[in-house]
Amino acid sequence: MGAEILPVAMFVTLLFAVMLGHPLGVTLGALAILFGYIGVGPGVFFILVSKTYGLMTNYVLVAIPLFILMAEILSESGVSEDLFESMYIVLGQTKGGLALATVIISILLAATTGIVGASVVGMGLLAAPAMMKRNYSKSLTAGTIIAGGTLGILIPPSIMLVVYGAMIGMSVGKLFAAAAIPGVSLGVLYLVYVFIYCNFINPKAGPPISKDEVSYTVIQKILLTLKSMAPPLFLIFAVLGSIVAGVATPTEAAGLGCLGAILIAGFNRKINFTMLKSTAYSTLKITCMVMLIFVGANLFSAVFLDLGGGEAFKNLLLSISSNRWVIFSIMMFIIFLLGMFVDWLGILLIIVPIFTPIAVNILGFSPLWFAMMVSINLQMSFLTPPFGYSLFYFKGVAPPGMTMLDIYKGIVPFVVIQATGLVVFALVPQLITWLPSALFK
């Protein structure tokens, strides 16, 4: 046990520091240097330099600021407002129609932005007041907006999958293809739940709007829907289509996405110098935050593994059971628990270097399938209290009278749906592996 004291103390100290609210990137780097100096000596500074230089020369990571910029510009372009207006007209007279519209718009936004915060805040400002005005259940309103917004972390183009691919040297295009069916499937499950809940379980939770409020013909509704969906579909085709067709790498596709977002903003007459300046500044802040965590977590993982933490963790898991599904379930449960307290990026950068060799080399799982299972699990981290980021994103823009208890009650069914989806994708791995094998032969 003596050789395992340092890595165990290192991991426990990290959890304690995060729970105290210290910045994750700084905490990871500081603990890595402290414990690395104790266990490795001055060589820890060479590890810091080499890991940081490796990040600086990683071409794939250039996609991160580009996708963030694309999301920032798109959030200012008026696309979400046009989508909500058309879905409001088309689905408003259905029980739970506004909630259904919110999920559909969230799926489209997820396929264009990949930024959870932008989707949750944007839909919170648009949909929450409209739903509350028409006496929708507070918990249904909160749960629908928050859960729909988190789809952006899984449905491509996803920042999380770009980071994941850069970490393990896997094709980001394959990760995008693998995430498409699980991401959209979760969105469809949300739609099924909302429809059943509002039509059969509690019709008062999502009352339809009056016919007098919306008087459009079927043809007008179709034309309005096509007009509002054209910009996001154009952007999806530009980004994902170019990757699938082999025309562009994910990094180049991110550049195309930025150009497409600028064109959409210009078409909607939303583009000006002030908007470009604010979106560029927001992109800079978010990118700096992401890369600081990236540097700290890379150093933390390197030192942790060098001190024998990976070997100790492997021995601990294998001592519990020889059944690979039991070990896999323990891994998923650990990620789920960490998601309640630690940011998804920190979990990804710390856990993946430890878990992936065990899952692939010892348990024999497909690296692509395992990557998706981790990613689907991490999506729940945005919803699980006490530190689910989406909960606080929404609370910041929630209408007056919406309490944290309403928000917590609202997300419970959607966490159950996500957990159910995780089990289904574990039992039917073809839902993950079929599309990548069909597109990338």
The CA-based dihedral angle spanning residues 219, 199, 105, 337, taken in that order and rounded to the nearest 10 degrees: -170
User: Which one has a higher pLDDT value, 19 or 1?
Assistant: 19
- pLDDT value for 213: 67
Closest CA to 388 of 61, 153, 129: 153
Q: Which two tokens stand for residue 305?
A: 């593994």
- Flag whether pLDDT at 203 surpasses 50: yes
As a whole-number percent, the residues of the chain with pLDDT over 70 amount to: 98
- Flag whether pLDDT at 297 surpasses 90: no
- Are 379 and 154 in contact by the 8 Å Cβ rule? The answer is yes
Provide the pLDDT confidence category of residue 3 given band limits of 50, 70 and 90.
Answer: low
- pLDDT value for 426: 94
- Are 183 and 154 in contact by the 8 Å Cβ rule? The answer is yes
Q: Using alpha carbons only, how large is the chain's radius of gyration in Å? A: 22
Q: Please, what's the largest Cα pairwise distance for the chain?
A: 75
- Flag whether pLDDT at 317 surpasses 70: yes
DSSP type of residue 152: G
- Flag whether pLDDT at 147 surpasses 80: yes
Where do the structural domains in the chain lie, given as residue ranges? 58-271+308-439
- Flag whether pLDDT at 408 surpasses 60: yes
Q: What string of DSSP letters covers 383-398?
A: TSSSS-HHHHHHHTTP
CA dist 235 and 435 (Å) reads 21
Q: Which two tokens stand for residue 59?
A: 């071409």
Closest CA to 163 of 335, 350, 311, 392: 350
- Are 125 and 154 in contact by the 8 Å Cβ rule? The answer is no
Entry pTM: 0.86
CA dist 322 and 324 (Å) reads 6
- Flag whether pLDDT at 417 surpasses 90: yes
- Flag whether pLDDT at 75 surpasses 80: no
Neighbouring C-beta atoms of residue 49, cutoff 10 Å: 10
Q: What is the mean pLDDT of residues 352-362?
A: 90
- pLDDT value for 441: 67
Provide the pLDDT confidence category of residue 114 given band limits of 50, 70 and 90.
Answer: low
Q: Which two tokens stand for residue 381?
A: 């981290």
- Flag whether pLDDT at 429 surpasses 90: yes
Q: Which residues contact 82 (CB under 8 A, 6 or more apart)?
A: 227, 228, 231, 268
Provide the pLDDT confidence category of residue 327 given band limits of 50, 70 and 90.
Answer: very high
- pLDDT value for 2: 47
- pLDDT value for 430: 94
DSSP type of residue 326: H
- Flag whether pLDDT at 349 surpasses 60: yes
Q: Which two tokens stand for residue 383?
A: 């919803």
